[in-house]
Amino acid sequence: MASVVGCNDSHAARSPHRDPIDQLPVSGPDLAKLRIGISPGTGMESSAVRAMPLRDHLESALRHPVELVAAPSYDELIGFLERGSIDVAILSPLTYVRARRRLQVVPLAAASSDGSPTYSGYLVVRNSSSLNTLADLRQTTIAWVDSTSTSGYLYPRALLRYHGHDPDRFFGRVVFAGDHWSAIRMVARGEADVGAVASSFVDPGRTQRIAEADELRVVAKTARIPYDCVVVLDRVPRTFARRLRASLLRLQSRPDVSARLAATWGFSAFVTAYEHRYDAVAEVHQVEHDQTEGTTGSSAHP
């Protein structure tokens, strides 16, 4: 992604070679149970259930009880961190960028799927639709996922701007589905003309795909987006964080666990997280903020 003028994220200046875990305290509170917050990518209840293979793996690797806490929204997952009701969170790219501006969170690992640490955002329509290009979508009904979703809101809006369209005036009607599966179902049922969703919910062969995706086709796609980031609060002891990161990275050498996780959640492994890889998301978010506030921000291909 080309640079976007106006990014003021202080984390962007950090050296990618520094181990972020060094920021954590040597000692900290006794974590009787490791509480991991999950974002509502497929709905609050299903997200926690789909992450169960990860919980089982971590409990075995850490020899420590683990609890999954599903958030009702992307914003509320940050709220869980702020209130200290969770110790770890698996944050969507935009949620991570927003969280690192508001809180002292330390990245441990980034999700990966099918050997790739990135994915795309899609604009999808029904197979029977006469809509074939981005320009055709003008004055239609769009189903966004959530205003804090990266692939289901932020990047598709940047794509529209890049092609000279004002995303706030382009569509005739806007609805928010709340999660990716709901956005897909709204388009399939004809409740929306177009939906903005992550590629992992639409691409054939992907485990996150639902039957209704067969009724859809892609009319536009965004640039690549880094997958979700696993973070800990800055009160988590350094030694424990290192063990947690090692356990996450070890999934790559555990094909049995990796396959179970891919089958339920779509992620098959975790790789080392580098803060600077999320800076492009921060830049697009800054442009979105500037445009929403009515200021002039530079546009970039999303």
Question: Please, where in the chain does CATH 3.40.190.10 lie?
Answer: 17-116+227-273, 118-222
Residue 302 is predicted with a pLDDT of 47
What mean pLDDT, rounded, does the chain reach? 87
Distances (CA, A) of 33 to 13, 29, 54, 125, 131: 34, 11, 15, 44, 50
The closest of 146, 137, 236 to 182, measured between CA atoms, is 146
Query: Of the ranges 22-31, 51-60, 76-85, 238-247, which one carries the lowest mean pLDDT score?
Result: 22-31
| 8 A C-beta contact, residue 147 and residue 176 | yes
Average pLDDT of the segment spanning 111-117: 89
Beta-strand runs (E) in 153-237: 173-176, 194-198, 216-221, 225-226, 229-233
The closest of 271, 249, 251, 247 to 259, measured between CA atoms, is 251
Task: Please provide residue 149's backbone torsions phi and psi, each rounded to the nearest 5 degrees.
Answer: -90, 135
Determine the distance from the C-alpha atom of residue 66 to the mean position of all C-alpha atoms in its chain, rounded to a whole number: 22
pLDDT digits (tens, 9 = 90+) for 182-203: 999 999 999 999 999 999 899 9
Q: Is the pLDDT of residue 1 over 60?
A: no
| 8 A C-beta contact, residue 268 and residue 261 | yes
Is the entire prediction scored with pTM above 0.75?
Answer: yes
- Cα-based angle 183, 76, 111 (whole degrees, multiple of 5): 70
Q: Is the pLDDT of residue 131 over 50?
A: yes
Which is higher by pLDDT, 95 or 2?
95
Cα distance between residue 140 and residue 64, in whole Å: 50
Query: Of the ranges 44-53, 176-185, 269-278, 283-292, which one carries the lowest mean pLDDT score?
Result: 44-53
CATH number of 17-116+227-273: 3.40.190.10
CATH fold group of domain 118-222: D-Maltodextrin-Binding Protein; domain 2 (3.40.190)
Determine the distance from the C-alpha atom of residue 1 to the mean position of all C-alpha atoms in its chain, rounded to a whole number: 18
Distances (CA, A) of 133 to 67, 138, 219, 220: 44, 10, 6, 7
